[in-house]
Amino acid sequence: MGEYEVLLDDSTRFYENGKAAGVDVELQVFDEMQHVFQFMAGNAPEADDAIAKIAAFMRPHLGLS
């Protein structure tokens, strides 16, 4: 999630509601990044880092690690 994400407040509430319900959730906010900054993967280290963190979180949830 980018710091300048237009949906940051909604996403934060979604995260907090999931956490309160006992769901395994993570929310990471990347400084100075905008909406859908991950599309810059391969051109921005923040995007590469975000994609790697998403994959690391998803792998065990999908039974891939």
pLDDT tens digits, 2-45: 999 999 999 999 999 999 999 999 999 999 999 999 999 999 99
Query: Is the pLDDT confidence value at 49 over 90?
Result: yes
**Which of the four pLDDT bands, split at 50, 70 and 90, describes residue 65?**
confident
Is residue 43 domain-resident?
Answer: yes
Give the chain's domain count.
1
Q: What SS3 class is residue 27? A: coil
Is residue 25 domain-resident?
Answer: yes
Is residue 24 domain-resident?
Answer: yes
Query: Is the pLDDT confidence value at 58 over 90?
Result: yes
Is residue 33 domain-resident?
Answer: yes
Would you say 57 and 27 are in contact if contact means Cβ atoms under 8 Å apart? Answer: no
Is residue 40 domain-resident?
Answer: yes
Is residue 15 domain-resident?
Answer: yes
- The boundaries of the domain holding residue 42 are 8-61
* Burial letters 45-64, b for 16+ CB under 10 A, else e: ebbeebeeeeeeeeeeeeee
Helical H runs in the chain? 8-20, 45-61
